[in-house]
A and B are shown apart, each in its own frame.
Chain A
Amino acid sequence: MSDGGQPGDLSRRALLGRVSAAGAFVALTEVLPPGTSVADAQTRRSPARGPLEALTPAEAVTLEAIAARLIPTGPDGPGAAEAGAAIYIDRALAGALANFRDAYRAGLASVDAYARGAKRAPFAQLSAADQDTVLADMERNTATGFEGGSASFFALVLAHTVQGTFCDPFYGGNRNFAGWDLIAYPGVRLAVTADQQNLDAKPAATHMSAYDYSMFSGRKPAHGH
């Protein structure tokens, strides 16, 4: 990633630039009404898809739809979709979580196969209620066709969706601090006062990545991973 700054420097501008790409990716499935084919949506919004690093476009669509039900968008605020949890997972599968790439390939295919069998459409095209039924079957380990059982793949996706929603935005998730704001985490600070640790204190949200601080900007982990 380069924004014309110091090599290896994660400036705020660069962070926001990357987040925009992630947002475009998220937007793809957010607007998909049930029954719309992915191909239709891609035709309409194809310039919007951000670059994928590990997943295929079809896998990304399924994963994003799963994440959007695990931590749903609602009147109480944004969820995993707005946070870009799937972007986080895609990047991680190309890096630190590469060991799980095959599990996602097989697992996401199994999700769609099970959805077609049980509900007659790929997962992303099901209604929210049907999607929840499929996910509940997976969690209970009663969804068939999963190597190693559906529950273990469900647990894997849930853990990574939580990471992608609540991690430091450096990793591509928690876009616009959606996850941290959801739980009112006041954010990364390099020093905290005694007053800020009082029971009734409500420190203002910093909305800073660890790597926005100059002390750490030169020592960030490998790009997005």
Chain B
Amino acid sequence: MATNLRKTDVVIIGLGATGGVAALPLAQAGLDVVGLEAGTWLAPADLSPDELRNNFRGWPQSVQKANREVPTHRSSATAPYSPRPAIHPMMNAVGGTTLHYWAQSWRLNPWDFEVVSETRRRYGAARLPKGTTVEDWPFGLEELEPYYDKVEVEIGVSGQAGNIGGKIDPRGNIFEGARARAYPMPPLRGTGFTEMMAGAARSLGWHPFPGPAAITSGRYDGRSGCVYHGFCNRGGCHVSAKGSTAVTTIPKAQRTKRLTVVTEAHVTSIDADSQGRVSGVTYRKGTEEFFQPAAAVLLASYTYENTRLLLLSKSSAFPKGLSNNHGQVGRHYFSHNQIATVNALFPRNLNTWYGLPAQGMAVDDWADDNFDHGGLDFIGGGNLWVYSDRRPIAAANMSTFGRAPRWGAQWKAFIRENADRGNTAYLQRTTLPYEDNYLDLDPTVKDPLGFPVCRITADYKDNERRLADFIQDKMVQWYRAAGAVVTEKTPVGTMGPTTHAYGGTRMGDNPDTNVVNRWGFSHEVPNLGILGASVMGTSGARNPTLTAQALAWRTAEHLSQNWKSIAG
């Protein structure tokens, strides 16, 4: 039998990127918050510069809950299962994946909020791809702008503004939507390589700029500036320059004395009463089971687990899973069209042994609808990104561009000469939801507790494939302009488990096609809010975290400001 705990105001399931942000405005508003986190606290000394451990052995995820429930994947309802990764792309810990993410912290651009109406207006409705279920967001960028701003200040985002109140600054992204003010810190510094790439982009008439990062470019809010040591990518930050919620919003919320952090809490269900309201959350800690009653619940795990927990939480009021009486939980799933990239080989050393993925140069000229699609056969676009980041095992595993075998004396001679001459771009592209891309519960694969894992049924469609090819060609052009002697395009891949997973609990005004309303609260369960990229209906051409965090702050603020009507 579960031990009944004392009722609290709000339970947050998951203290990662979004739950860790939402805790702060709730606690500051004087609400008592219990944060249930499956992982533990990690200290800076746990985040060592160890490529083998961080990048090849899945640490610090290795003994984590997420690894025991990696989603299964098939590219369609009739396709065989894809090989199942041994390691979940996300991690459990206080701070979640913000501990080891790249920390690129982009705002979406205005077009991303109105893909349907803008495509109709500019090119005609026929240009919306067949089978897509994309909708306009229930609001535009201007509604989210104040929340982007709050999060940028709280977690410490560095960057160069390109548009403050409509005034364009060519040092930043001239295509971005209007910001109320500059970033709280200047951008991370450039490197010899990123400046070389910026020059090449300008020679093509493009508009390169340093991207925004939740990483300090100098001392900020008591935290050190970035030290550029080179193990940021799936490693953590030993000087807390990375703005993980574990070193920003969560400790700040704890200082209000309103946030209780419960670690190693494995949530198994969100419980609903017969009136269709949630009453609390059941979780296991070790071998014990607890029931934490609450006036409101915020579900903030991750896209896959958000859908899974809802589908597992069945009750008389919700026989198909919590908040699923309209059959929308798991629908409108998509993962970011970011696999297809370009490798390049230069005739000189690039000295990119140090740095971090967020220390880079962006081009947005081919993102979103920043260019005319009139003569093209796709909608949307991509963000081109090059950065300074290399570690020795990855360097040895570089592409040989068909110039050497994969082993032996010739291979050794190749990497000896070229280990510091390769570069691989990061190309994020618009991805749309489709009718037949979805999440559900796997009928046979279960976690160690006997609960089905999440199953992904999804693949990229023609729009994503054509767009990938177009963006790769732009990247080839950029590398060539910078002096690359050979380039190669990599395949588009498929939609297996990923760090950029969207949908499943989409936000929108229509309850027939969306799980949560414009405030992030369930259309069916008035005191259940859902946080994360699972509520996003479009991807944009950039990392989702800052948008998910801005939405989380907004949902939390809405809850505190409408406490009586929501929490009863």
Q: Which residues of chain A have a CB within 8 Å of any CB of chain B? A: 69-72, 74, 76-77, 79, 96, 132, 135, 139, 158, 162-163, 165-168, 170-171, 179-180, 182-186, 188-192, 194, 196-203, 210-211, 215-216, 218-221
User: Roughly how many angstroms separate A70 CA and B409 CA in the complex, as a whole number?
Assistant: 8
A168 and B412 in contact (CB under 8 A), knowing A199-B193, A218-B45? no
Shortest Cβ distance from residue A13 to the other chain B in the assembled complex, whole angstroms: 20
Shortest Cβ distance from residue B393 to the other chain A in the assembled complex, whole angstroms: 5
User: Roughly how many angstroms separate A221 CA and B58 CA in the complex, as a whole number?
Assistant: 13
User: Roughly how many angstroms separate A220 CA and B419 CA in the complex, as a whole number?
Assistant: 28
What's the dominant secondary structure at chain A's contact region?
A: loop
Contact between chains at B238 and A215 (CB < 8 Å): yes
* Interface membership of chain B positions 324-354, coded 1 if the CB is closer than 8 angstroms to chain A and 0 otherwise: 0000000000000000000000001111011
- With beta carbons under 8 angstroms apart, the residue of B193, B229, B392 that contacts A180 is B392
Jot down 8 A-B pairs with beta carbons below 8 A, ordered by A: A70-B407, A70-B408, A166-B395, A188-B49, A190-B227, A197-B351, A199-B196, A221-B50
A189 and B229 in contact (CB under 8 A), knowing A79-B412, A162-B393, A184-B420? yes
User: Roughly how many angstroms separate A198 CA and B354 CA in the complex, as a whole number?
Assistant: 10
Shortest Cβ distance from residue A192 to the other chain B in the assembled complex, whole angstroms: 4
What's the dominant secondary structure at chain B's contact region?
A: loop
Shortest Cβ distance from residue B52 to the other chain A in the assembled complex, whole angstroms: 4
Contact between chains at B46 and A219 (CB < 8 Å): yes
- With beta carbons under 8 angstroms apart, the residue of B57, B227, B349, B416 that contacts A192 is B227
User: Roughly how many angstroms separate A79 CA and B193 CA in the complex, as a whole number?
Assistant: 30
- With beta carbons under 8 angstroms apart, the residue of B59, B238, B353, B395 that contacts A190 is B238
User: Roughly how many angstroms separate A31 CA and B191 CA in the complex, as a whole number?
Assistant: 46
Give every chain B residue within 8 A of A158 (Cβ-Cβ). Answer: 406-407
The answer to the question of B117 belonging to the interface, with a C-beta cut-off of 8 Å to chain A, is no
Contact between chains at B392 and A183 (CB < 8 Å): yes
Shortest Cβ distance from residue B5 to the other chain A in the assembled complex, whole angstroms: 33
Contact between chains at B354 and A185 (CB < 8 Å): no
Shortest Cβ distance from residue B99 to the other chain A in the assembled complex, whole angstroms: 15
- With beta carbons under 8 angstroms apart, the residue of B52, B395, B412, B420 that contacts A163 is B52
- With beta carbons under 8 angstroms apart, the residue of A74, A135, A171, A194 that contacts B409 is A74
Q: What would 4 more interface pairs be, CB under 8 Å, given A79-B412, A199-B349, A215-B45? A: A158-B406, A170-B50, A185-B419, A211-B48
The 3 closest A-B pairs by CB, nearest first: A199-B192, A183-B419, A191-B227
Shortest Cβ distance from residue A2 to the other chain B in the assembled complex, whole angstroms: 21
* Chain B residue at minimal CB-CB distance from A168: B50
User: Roughly how many angstroms separate A158 CA and B395 CA in the complex, as a whole number?
Assistant: 15
